[in-house]
Amino acid sequence: MMLYPFACVCAMVLCSQAAYADEEASIEHGRYLATAADCGACHTIDDTKPFAGGLKIGSPVGNIYSTNITPDKKTGIGDYRYEDFERAVRQGIAKDGSILYPAMPYPSYSRLSDNDVRDLFAYFKNGVQPQVNPNHATDIPWPLNMRWPLHIWKWLFASDSAEKPKSTDPQWLRGAYLVQSLGHCGACHTPRGVAFQEKALDHTDSDYLTGGKIDNWYAPALTGDYVFGLGKWSQQDIVDFLDTGKNAHTTAFGPMKEVITKSTHQMTDEDLNAIAVYLKSLPGKKNDTVLIDEPTTAQALAKGDTRATGAQTYVDSCAACHRSDGKGYSGIFPPLAHNPALLSDDPSSVISMILLGGAQPVTESDITGITMPDFAGQLSNKQVAEVATFIRNSWGNHASPVTEKDVKKIRESIMSSQKK
């Protein structure tokens, strides 16, 4: 064994250098995938300790905590083999064999390709700093904390059968993969059923991406519906929104802001265009009407006529930024007229926005982060309901009225989550 011919040693060195370069490329690609999959949205709470876990995620039965997925051997996944990692990410089975709560979006990740899971593993094994941070048990009370019913849940709802592609266009296929699997857009944008399962995992089911509730927000339909979906958005509008959080129709707020800054803003133009091509291929569900510019509200407000319910509050608290014609100031204050974020049946986002205010996403190309003040202290539930109904039904907008009870519920939920 000591007499290796020189050439052979040389070949081995070259070979291991090539393997090293492969490993580096794999880690780098894994880093990109982890961003596109937004693993950090749930597994990072302190940016100085990426992926150390500990984020509290509410569920109908109690709180669940994300885990430490850094390569620390004791408190993280340092002793996971590839097979253990693959089972956790794609099948929702922890190393000890217990089933993970679907707060971890494995129904979507089940469609990840083998290569991508390998590269993710390379990154989490060798591209992430180990962090010591012991996992936190769930706050779910006995007997619901027994994980065995999750077997049934998983068997019923997390099928890993992939859909039959309806196109062979590589850009569409890439977009479908990014939306359905890596980006797990449906985790928020698809309605959930009685057992908290996403009602659909791809476009072969008409519930897919037709809008879902998330905490006190509503993630609207991403289908081709004209009024409350992406029907009137161009491919470029979608790309701009995912890259910068803004376009002519709306600005990003609530949980979508984080999706943009942590994930989609860091994706390549090529991938964002693929997402847009896929989303533009989803038909609208309802035969909805076209929005028209309706001038009576703007004319009345311009004359100082605030007899309409909610109009006085609008003039006093909102019009300075969103203007009496509801058109806002392009690139600064978003329009409220024809803005799909206002027009879903579910008014949660509009109510939360008025109570909490917000700031536009900050990216390195746009650091202004223009804000909207919060009105929780100034406006009563009745006033919020009235002004929300007013903006949902002015300038050609049409949506269901918002009630005091709707506002009360969200105000209480916001207050209780702020207390914790």
Which 354-413 residues touch ligand HEC, going by CB under 6 A?
A: 354, 358-360, 370-373, 375, 387, 391
Separation CA 196–CA 91 (nearest Å):
17
- Which residues in 43-72 contact ligand HEC (CB under 6 A)? 43, 57, 64, 66-67, 69
Which of 342, 355, 356, 407 is in the footprint of ligand HEC by CB under 6 A?
Answer: 342
Q: Which is nearer to ligand HEC, 15 or 320 (CB)?
A: 320
Question: Interface with ligand HEC includes 254 (CB under 6 A)?
Answer: yes
Among candidate residues 413, 411, 412, the one with its CA nearest the CA of residue 215: 413
Those residues whose C-beta lies under 8 Å from the C-beta of residue 98, and which sit 6 or more positions away, are: 147
Contact 135, 70 (CB under 8 A): no
Question: Interface with ligand HEC includes 27 (CB under 6 A)?
Answer: no
How many binding residues for ligand HEC (CB under 6 A)? 75
Which of 27, 52, 219, 337 is in the footprint of ligand HEC by CB under 6 A?
Answer: 219
Which of 252, 301, 356, 402 is in the footprint of ligand HEC by CB under 6 A?
Answer: 252
Rounded to the nearest angstrom, the gap between the alpha carbon of residue 147 and the centroid of all alpha carbons in its chain is 26
Question: Interface with ligand HEC includes 226 (CB under 6 A)?
Answer: no
Question: Interface with ligand HEC includes 227 (CB under 6 A)?
Answer: no
Which of 200, 241, 297, 381 is in the footprint of ligand HEC by CB under 6 A?
Answer: 241
Contact 74, 152 (CB under 8 A): no
Preceding omega of 340 cis (within 30 degrees of 0): no
Contact 401, 319 (CB under 8 A): no
Contact 201, 186 (CB under 8 A): yes
Q: Which is nearer to ligand HEC, 127 or 183 (CB)?
A: 183
Q: Which is nearer to ligand HEC, 294 or 374 (CB)?
A: 374
Separation CA 300–CA 296 (nearest Å):
6
The residue behind tokens 């880690």 is 27
Question: Interface with ligand HEC includes 256 (CB under 6 A)?
Answer: yes
| CA-angle at 145, arms to 139 and 149, nearest 5° | 145
- Which residues in 91-110 contact ligand HEC (CB under 6 A)? 94-95, 100-101, 103-105, 109
Q: Which is nearer to ligand HEC, 54 or 156 (CB)?
A: 54
Question: Interface with ligand HEC includes 349 (CB under 6 A)?
Answer: yes
Question: Interface with ligand HEC includes 272 (CB under 6 A)?
Answer: no
Tokens linked to 312: 């006085």
> Looking at 21-29, 153-161, 280-288, 349-357, which segment touches ligand HEC (CB under 6 A)?
349-357
End-to-end CA separation in angstroms for the chain: 65
